[in-house]
Structure 1
Amino acid sequence: MADKQVYELSVDDLASYGVWYFPMDESVEDELTVRPLAEKVVCADAQIIVRTKFVGVDGSSYLGYLYWDGSGAVEYLKPVVFLEDGSSVTFWNGMVKPSWDDYSERAQGVRAIFPISYVSEPLLDLSEISGRLEGLYYLDEDQISWVR
């Protein structure tokens, strides 16, 4: 499988490869390029994303990914969920206050299933990361806030 831009990843990509990494060398187009990882981590300082299962309070289940990070902080994990219609929901928005109006109608339906639990798959010796999402997160005057 060829390199992709991280924002081009799909459910099929994650089904084929559960771990992707950002090569960050002269072989890639830019810093958003990801490459499937089929063996143990090739570089200790490479940023990695890992296939993750998300489950809503109503029991609905979704596939997505998070940036593998031992801290467990949402601003480092940057969780993303893929929906049936091909759209996605990004739960970390940096310094920009998110608005559900920017999402598709299907994506807006995610609002009804908070809190959402997640568990990453323990692939390639990467430990499992689990947690809970309360909404769309952003940095608001030096503190993490969310919009539900």
Structure 2
Amino acid sequence: MFNLFKKKEEPQPQSSAGLFSDLTQNQRMSVINLLALIAYGDDEGSRSETALLSKYSNQLGVRAEASISYMEETGYETMISDLNKLNREQKKFLVLVSNNLIGSDGEINQEEVAAVAGYFGDLGIDMDEYISIVEASLRR
């Protein structure tokens, strides 16, 4: 299973900007907050995780400081509520981005996998579906 999380070809940033173009600013900040939770959930995050997070933050036009403040003010539940409003394709893309993020440093641990499973479970995507989405992208 951990092979799914190894570094893959990165989803194209311009795709994220286009696919997420209809999101509100709060939803964009929630996307970045989810990715930050994934990147930094196992401590400080690697350079590659930080670089990817910065790239997606720039593509979505969201400042990291504003995202952090939004999360601190509104909490995890609001982030999940914002993200549950994403359509199916947007959630699938978020799965691929998160998968790329956790595999970017080459070090995958059980804690990261469990955290990602919990976050996406809250978004209605269980681990079996997460794996199916990733596997389908690898077959393309």
Question: Do the structures match in fold with TM over 0.5?
Answer: no
Report which of the two has the higher share of helix: 2
Tell me the TM-score normalised to structure 2 length. Answer: 0.29
The structure whose RCO (Cα within 8 Å, separation 6+) is larger is: 2
Q: Which of the pair has more CA radius of gyration?
A: 1
Tell me the TM-score normalised to structure 1 length. Answer: 0.28
